[in-house]
A = this chain, B = another copy of it.
Amino acid sequence: MKIISKTINIATKQRIQFIDITNELEKFVKESGVRNGICLVHVPHATAALILNENEIGLIEDFKRKISELFPMNAGYLHDRIDDNAYAHLASGIIGTSKIFPIVEGELVRGTWQNLLLTELDGPRSSRKVIFQVMGE
Task: List A residues at the B interface (Cβ < 8 Å).
Answer: 1, 3, 5, 36-38, 40, 42-47, 51-54, 56-59, 61-63, 66, 70-71, 77-79, 81-82, 86, 89-90, 92-102, 104, 109-111, 113-114, 117, 131, 133, 135-137
Contact = CB atoms under 8 A, between A and B. Distances in A.
Task: Quickly give the copy total for this chain.
Answer: 3
A136 B38 CA distance: 12
Nearest to A101: B42
A75 to B, nearest CB: 9
A58 B77 contact: yes
Contacts of A51: 93-94
For chain A, what secondary structure do more than half of its interface residues adopt (helix, strand, loop), or is it mixed?
mixed
A45 B3 contact: no
Nearest to A113: B46
Contacts of A117: 93
B42 A40 contact: no
A61 B78 contact: yes
Given A40-B102, A57-B78, 5 more contacts: A5-B104, A53-B89, A59-B78, A66-B90, A135-B136
